[in-house]
């Protein structure tokens, strides 16, 4: 690190659990963020500010006026612009020391097979069941830890799936695809703006921990936030041997 970087990241370097070696690991890392909406904006900004050296954003959508209530990387002036380009501008304005790759396209298996082998962590900031399962499958196949967040109305969820750990469940263990819930979105159900910031920033924190081996991850623990009372509930998760994605026969 040069003198400017030592100053920029000094509050990280002061942490005994991180230090200059941990910060260098972040600078050498590649994080993949799927979704540049409410969760993705918050997560990506903190990853950028924290000095993750390469961040790839994937989202097909464009900035809309209704996004600005919660998607804090975007601005009124960038309405109509690709979300990934808008977020890229905000991230580089915050930290020009990093590299941001903006991909304006829908995530599909071919793209994920191309991107995941180059990443050390992937953040699921998407908003639909299909994408979550597709990303989970790629995470398991490429053995890349997946930090999963979700928010709707006044409720948030956060956990980590790490296929490198034999006892870690995957998304399909917890939310089987054949038991898909009715799809809901904030466009029809609403969402309290700061809650996506809370969950998105915690996704970034979890990703930083994984990249630097700091503390313990959320593997096997689903954190649920009730925004009405700001109370957290934790549910223990177990890998399902019968899971068609990560079950015992898939791990051999």
With tokens 């700091």, the residue in question is 214
d(CA 45, CA 86): 12
Structure tokens at 40: 């993705």
* CB neighbour list of residue 246: distance below 8 Å, 6 or more residues apart: 140, 163, 168, 169, 170, 172, 173, 239
Q: Specify whether the CB–CB gap between 187 and 66 falls below 8 A.
A: yes
223: Cα separation from own chain's centroid: 15
d(CA 146, CA 128): 16
d(CA 103, CA 124): 15
The yes-or-no answer on residue 186 being catalytic is: yes
Residue in 125, 170, 186, 243 annotated catalytic:
186
- Helix 193-212 to helix 19-27 angle (10° resolution) is 110
Q: Specify whether the CB–CB gap between 216 and 24 falls below 8 A.
A: no
* CB neighbour list of residue 114: distance below 8 Å, 6 or more residues apart: none
Largest CA distance in the chain: 54
Q: Which residues are tagged catalytic?
A: 186
């Amino acid at each position: 690190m040069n003198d400017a970087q030592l100053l920029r990241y000094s509050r990280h370097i002061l942490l005994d659990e991180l230090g200059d070696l941990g910060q260098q690991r972040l600078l050498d890392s590649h994080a993949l963020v799927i979704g540049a909406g409410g969760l993705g904006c918050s997560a990506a900004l903190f990853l950028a500010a924290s000095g993750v050296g390469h961040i790839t954003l994937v989202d097909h959508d464009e900035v809309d006026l209704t996004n600005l209530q919660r998607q804090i990387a975007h601005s009124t002036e960038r309405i109509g612009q690709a979300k990934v380009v808008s977020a890229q501008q905000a991230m580089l304005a915050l930290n020009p020391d990093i590299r941001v790759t903006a991909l304006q396209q829908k995530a599909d298996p071919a793209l994920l097979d191309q991107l995941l082998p180059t990443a050390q962590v992937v953040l699921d900031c998407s908003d639909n069941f299909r994408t979550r399962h597709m990303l989970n499958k790629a995470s398991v196949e490429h053995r890349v830890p997946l930090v999963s967040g979700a928010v709707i109305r006044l409720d948030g969820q956060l956990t980590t799936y790490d296929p490198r750990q034999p006892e870690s469940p995957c998304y399909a263990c917890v939310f089987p695809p054949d038991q898909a819930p009715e799809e809901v979105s904030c466009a029809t159900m609403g969402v309290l703006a700061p809650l996506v910031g809370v969950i998105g920033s915690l996704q970034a924190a979890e990703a930083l921990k994984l990249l630097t081996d700091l503390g313990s991850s959320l593997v096997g623990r689903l954190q649920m936030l009730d925004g009405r009372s700001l109370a957290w509930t934790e549910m223990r998760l177990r890998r399902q041997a019968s899971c068609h994605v990560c079950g015992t026969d898939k791990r051999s």
